[in-house]
């Protein structure tokens, strides 16, 4: 009898250990997305040998994960790219432009977002940083502030024309996040902190006169400001909030999703005092170097609090660098886009081919470099596969699952049939294989200086569109539109098909 009892106890213990091991092995990973603002492909040091900006923390992240040389944002500007990342749907199916000061939300109420998906799988969700996807503000009166921009009169809200006491709906908490802290947009009013659905400090002043920046223009739009607001304190404050959030997750049972959209290195270029003069690329270089420090603070917090081995970290950016990047070449010999043509807003590669790194410990081979063409819309379907969420057909219509690629499946190539980029209405680029078609007379929106075209050998386009073979011509110098009419027709037809079908991913079973 004693032997039977002992055997029974041993069996129970064995079952308990197996069950505990299975639970440990199937524990869902934490997810952190670091999203830079106006960072060029060549601003990441590891992929630009001639860079004048040290990025040791991001380079280390790339060495520990998979770096994509052909990763793209959906748009060449802020709001559309953020929308696409959080929905898995190309922004151009709904809108093209950014949310302007005090603009309304861009999401449909019934639309499934990435944080909503993860909440259904038991995740705690937080957004700390730049939202720029709209809110339902509580207006009391029409804007009466007036500012002249050249000969044009611009109206803006004064502090007393908005009710700051009521909750501000339609923001992150309305679309799947449990917690939000940020300043919405660094160069748009209101200039104050927002926590969840309330301002932390009520704006009582109009934006004060702004000093000169170390590079470019201040770009701060007029509107309400909290007393004592300092723009150079924004990124350090956000960084500290993110570190505190990670620290506070220690000991919690549920996994967490942390979306950290930076306000840097977007204008105004305001590096903190301790970072000024640390690079050879002027104020932008210092601000970019500070951004890398921010990444390091977050990654260190994951290590120090025991999360690093079970956290997927994704790093990318919303679009290419601002127009000041041209002068940066002459002044500092730093090319923010590397060998790519174009900047923010452009449909050339430099407007939307961005830094893109995914680290998945124990799954993704460290230091792997992939030339696979991917897009930020793919993050939705990829994370759905990771957490075991079955996406409905009416969600993430343009999102492809990258998990086979991340797991090292060497047959997982050409996952996307094609990729579409767009910034402004009726100006699209479609990429299939090595070929990219710009379906407009030019991929340019940001004015290109004559000296740049002369120095790097660009000539004026004489065709109704542009066609490039990126394998042979990464800098997009040689327009082949007139030489390959069949390829032009093929890509135009596929572009129209994607528009008409309302999706680019085959319907899910």
The arithmetic mean of pLDDT across residues 350-369, rounded, is 97
Neighbours of 176 (CB within 10 A): 22
In this prediction, residue 411 carries a pLDDT of 79
In this prediction, residue 255 carries a pLDDT of 98
Which is it for the CA torsion 209, 214, 220, 226, positive or negative?
negative
In this prediction, residue 208 carries a pLDDT of 76
- Straight-line distance from the first to the last Cα atom of the chain, in angstroms, rounded to the nearest whole number: 55
In this prediction, residue 19 carries a pLDDT of 46
In this prediction, residue 412 carries a pLDDT of 80
Cis-peptide, bond into residue 268, ω within 30° of zero: yes
Distance CA 337, CA 353 (A): 9
Q: pLDDT tens digits for 376-425?
A: 999 999 999 999 999 999 999 999 999 999 999 877 888 999 999 999 99
Domains of the chain: 27-417 (3.40.720.10)
Distance CA 403, CA 123 (A): 20
In this prediction, residue 80 carries a pLDDT of 98
Average pLDDT, the chain: 94
What 3-state DSSP class applies to 34? strand
Angle, in degrees to the nearest 10, between helices 282-304 and 234-249: 10
The arithmetic mean of pLDDT across residues 320-338, rounded, is 97
Neighbours of 77 (CB within 10 A): 25
Q: Which residue has the higher pLDDT, 471 or 24?
A: 471
In this prediction, residue 22 carries a pLDDT of 41
Structure tokens at 38: 């106006």
Distance CA 79, CA 104 (A): 12
Distance CA 401, CA 416 (A): 9
What 3-state DSSP class applies to 194? strand
Stated as kind and residue range, the H or E segment containing 149 is: strand 145-149
Structure tokens at 120: 């259904």
Structure tokens at 104: 């309304």
Contacting residues for 184 by C-beta, under 8 A, at least 6 apart = 130, 131, 132, 135, 190, 194
The arithmetic mean of pLDDT across residues 317-333, rounded, is 97
pTM of structure: 0.94
In this prediction, residue 233 carries a pLDDT of 97
In this prediction, residue 218 carries a pLDDT of 86
CA 176: distance to chain centroid?
A: 18
How far lies 235's CA from each of 221, 423, 441, in Å? 19, 27, 39
Quick check: 66 and 60 in contact, CB under 8 A? no
What 3-state DSSP class applies to 421? strand
Angle at 145 between CA 141 and CA 147, to 5 degrees: 150
* High-pLDDT (> 70) share of the chain, %: 95
The arithmetic mean of pLDDT across residues 434-440, rounded, is 97
In this prediction, residue 485 carries a pLDDT of 98
Structure tokens at 175: 């679309």
Contacting residues for 70 by C-beta, under 8 A, at least 6 apart = 353, 370, 371, 372, 373, 374
In this prediction, residue 18 carries a pLDDT of 45
In this prediction, residue 217 carries a pLDDT of 85
CA 433: distance to chain centroid?
A: 24
Give the bridge partners for 42, in sequence order: none
């Amino acid at each position: 009898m004693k032997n039977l009892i002992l055997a029974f106890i041993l069996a129970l213990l064995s079952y308990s250990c197996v069950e505990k091991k299975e639970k440990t092995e199937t524990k869902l990973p934490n997810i952190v997305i670091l999203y830079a603002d106006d960072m060029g492909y060549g601003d990441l040091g590891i992929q630009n040998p001639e860079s004048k900006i040290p990025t040791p923390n991001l380079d280390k992240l790339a060495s520990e994960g998979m770096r994509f040389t052909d990763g793209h944002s959906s748009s060449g500007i802020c709001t559309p790219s953020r929308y696409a990342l959080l929905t898995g749907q190309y922004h151009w199916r709904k809108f093209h432009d950014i949310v302007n000061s005090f603009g309304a939300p861009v999401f449909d109420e019934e639309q499934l977002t990435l944080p909503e998906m993860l909440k259904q799988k038991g995740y705690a969700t937080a957004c700390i940083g730049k939202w720029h996807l709209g809110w339902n503000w509580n207006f009391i009166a029409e804007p009466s502030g007036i500012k002249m921009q050249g000969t044009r009169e611009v109206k803006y809200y004064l502090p007393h024309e908005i009710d700051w006491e009521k909750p501000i709906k339609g923001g992150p908490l309305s679309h799947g996040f449990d917690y939000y802290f940020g300043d919405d947009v660094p160069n748009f009013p209101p200039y104050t902190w927002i926590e969840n659905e309330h301002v932390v400090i009520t704006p009582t002043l109009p934006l004060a006169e702004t000093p000169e920046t170390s590079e470019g223009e201040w770009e701060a739009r007029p509107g309400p400001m909290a007393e004592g607001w300092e723009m150079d304190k924004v990124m350090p404050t956000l960084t500290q909030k993110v570190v505190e959030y990670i620290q506070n997750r220690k000991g919690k049972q549920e996994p967490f999703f942390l979306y950290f959209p930076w306000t840097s290195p977007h204008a105004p270029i305001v590096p903190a005092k301790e970072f000024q003069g640390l690079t050879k690329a002027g104020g932008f270089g210092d601000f970019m170097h500070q951004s890398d420090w921010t990444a390091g603070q977050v990654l260190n917090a994951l290590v120090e609090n025991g999360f690093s081995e079970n956290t997927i970290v994704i790093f990318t950016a919303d679009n290419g660098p601002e127009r000041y990047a041209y002068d940066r070449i002459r002044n500092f010999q730093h090319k923010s886009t590397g060998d790519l043509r174009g900047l923010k807003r452009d449909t050339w590669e430099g407007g939307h081919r961005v830094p893109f790194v995914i680290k998945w410990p124990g799954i993704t081979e460290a230091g792997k470099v992939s030339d696979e063409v991917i897009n930020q819309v793919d993050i939705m379907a990829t994370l759905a596969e990771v957490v075991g969420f079955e996406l409905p057909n009416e969600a993430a219509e343009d999102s492809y699952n990258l998990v086979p690629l991340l797991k090292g499946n060497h047959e997982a190539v050409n996952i996307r049939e094609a990729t579409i980029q767009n910034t402004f209405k009726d100006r699209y680029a479609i990429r299939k294989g090595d070929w990219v078609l710009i379906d407009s007379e030019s991929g340019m929106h940001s004015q290109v200086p004559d000296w740049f075209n002369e120095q790097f050998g660009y000539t004026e386009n004489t065709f109704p569109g542009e066609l490039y073979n990126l394998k042979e011509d990464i800098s997009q110098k040689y327009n082949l539109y007139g030489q390959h009419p069949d390829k032009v027709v093929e890509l135009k037809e596929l572009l129209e098909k994607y528009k008409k079908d309302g999706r680019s991913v085959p319907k899910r079973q």
